[in-house]
Amino acid sequence: MKDSSSVAAMTTVSLQCLDPKCGAQYPVRDVRSECACGNLLDVRYEWSDFDAEAVKQVWKTRAMSLDPRDRSGVWRFRELIPFLPPEARVVTLREGNTPLLEAPHAADYAGLDLLAFKHQGFNPTGSFKDNGMTTGVSQAAALDKHVVACVSTGNTSASMAAYAAYGGLQAVIFIPAGQIASGKLAQALEYGALTIQVQANFDVTWKLVFHMVEEAGVYLLNSVNPFRVEGQKTIVVEMMEQLAWEAPDWIVLPGGNLGNSSAFGKGLREMKQLGLIARLPRLAVIQAEGSAPLYRLLQRAAAEGRSPWEIGLEPVASPQTLATAIRIGAPVSWKKALRELEATRGVCEAVSEQEIADAKAVIGLCGIGCEPASAATLAGIRKLVAANVIRKSDRVVAVLTGNLLKDPSYTLSYHEGTLALPREGPFDSAQGRQPAAIEPRFGNRPIAVPPDPEAIRRLLARHPAR
């Protein structure tokens, strides 16, 4: 078997401005989250003598190795993320290696012949953030940083806290008070992070602390960090390997801060460039109706016959959704995500709270649990199939970003019939500002019975096996 150095010789690595008009480049060890012009940065590689078929065999062989890097579903593909110096320590919790699960019941619900879920909830802290956090924290350690920070609606904080603790770094987390699911907050606290609750939403908190933490010499690990994106792009690399390198027609994922959409597109473009896949699948990004700035931008651009780049993204001042992982009104990675949608002929759709809740319950009926934001994918697929954007016969993979137990209160409230989205602003009975109730169309309310064998027998008789 060829050594990896002989199948993927890498020539240069640099940080490059997202805006081609600027084109600024920086050394890969430069500690910055954005270009001097204010745009985000990409990690840019120039490979030489990349042997795609030989690399695939190397990756396959590594799956049987006991090397900690090879046990990781991120670092096993290290020829595609060669930014660390050879002597650098890799901080890994054996992330990645997540399954691709067929879901016939969900396919029927969506109107598809076939549907598979790439379930990132199988990661160490239960979400896709682990794929990016292993690369982000490893880069922080390589830069000799001792404190890392993030602003988070939940999954980022849980992941960063775990990887920082494992790597011997201090984690500082800023969260919007009262807007984080208890399962995610519990993780951050358990992993020892300094947790600061700010009395504001995510977007306000982000503006408050973005430059402040960098000025303090703290390494920022939100998705603006280009090395986070490098780890997350390996999700789609692993997906292609699981599909025998045959790209599906569509990959569908939820859209919050849009870092994952950016990562998927970058990974797909690089794989096609290197000959690992023959064509690009189309990306579909699904947002919640109350937190859908990218969707609104694209709808306006289409209606006015103008370029979305010319119009620019207008933030949602008060984003509203119970899917807290995507409750973001001013996504910092929108330009990267837009670039990837254009590169893949992708689309963006928005779905209601009712559609998300029902889709989540349908996924559960497949024996596959997920957090609310994940279920936006199935809800979006159903709308796109109904609109004839996605065809019934198309091969579709949907990404489930987080584990069911990330937000158990949402699930319980849905099945008990008490789930509701609070209306924006204070309650005012005169104006009828009641919470928007969500109907449990697939509800499974627990049933109370007395300690009576006959009563239990009668109950079982009324509920035969499916």
Neighbours of 278 (CB within 10 A): 10
pLDDT in tens, 216-261: 889 999 989 999 999 999 999 999 999 999 999 999 999 999 999 9
Residue 8: the pLDDT is 62
pLDDT grade for 9, boundaries at 50, 70 and 90: low
89: its two tokens: 């320590």
For residue 373, what are the CA distances in angstroms to 19, 101, 199, 287?
30, 18, 23, 9
The model scores a pTM over 0.75: yes
For the sheet with 41-50, list strands across it: 25-26, 8-17, 41-50
Token code pair at residue 21: 């008009």
pLDDT at 429: 42
Cα-based torsion angle of the residue sequence 183, 184, 190, 196 in order, rounded to the nearest 10 degrees: -130
Q: Do 377 and 348 meet the contact criterion of CB atoms below 8 Å apart?
A: no
Phi, psi (deg, nearest 5) at residue 66? -100, 0
| Domain 100-124+226-411 classification at class level | alpha beta
pLDDT digits (tens, 9 = 90+) for 384-416: 999 999 999 999 999 999 999 999 999 999 999
The Cα–Cα gap between 143 and 145 comes to 6
- The continuous run of DSSP H or E covering 173 comes out as strand 170-176
| Residues paired with 42 in a beta bridge | 16
DSSP letter, residue 303: H
Split at pLDDT 50, 70, 90, the class of 179 is confident
Q: How far is CA 67 from CA 16, 63, 89, in A?
A: 32, 10, 13
Q: Tens of pLDDT along 183-208?
A: 888 999 999 999 999 888 888 888 88
Q: Degrees (nearest 5) of the Cα angle 239, 241, 247?
A: 70
What 3-state DSSP class applies to 347? strand
Which amino acid is it at 446? P
**pLDDT for res 203:** 84
Q: Distance (Å, rounded) from C-alpha 316 to C-alpha 452?
A: 55
- Return the pLDDT at 424: 62
At residue 350, the pLDDT reads 98
Q: How far is CA 34 from the centre of its chain?
A: 21
Residue-range domain boundaries for the chain: 100-124+226-411
Burial class of 129 by CB neighbour count within 10 A (0 to 12, 13 to 18, 19+): buried
Q: Phi then psi for 141, rounded to 5 degrees?
A: -65, -40
Counts of helices then strands in the chain (DSSP H, E): 16, 15
Write out pLDDT tens, residues 236-248: 999 999 999 999 9
Per-residue pLDDT of 357-369, as tens digits, reads 999 999 999 999 9
**Residue 436 pLDDT grade (very low, low, confident, very high; cuts 50, 70, 90):** confident
Q: Is the pLDDT of residue 81 over 90?
A: yes
Cα maximum dimension of the chain? 77
Average pLDDT for the chain: 93
**Cα–Cα distance list, 127 to 156, 260, 366 (Å):** 9, 12, 19
pLDDT for residue 265 is more than 90: yes
Among 31, 25, 62, smallest CA distance to 46 is for 25
Question: In sequence order, what are the residues at sequence separation of 6 or more whose Cβ sits closer than 8 angstroms to the Cβ of residue 231?
Answer: 74, 81, 131, 132, 133, 134, 135, 136, 263
pLDDT at 272 over 60: yes
Report the DSSP beta bridge partners of residue 147: 170
- The mean pLDDT of 313-331, rounded to a whole number, is 94
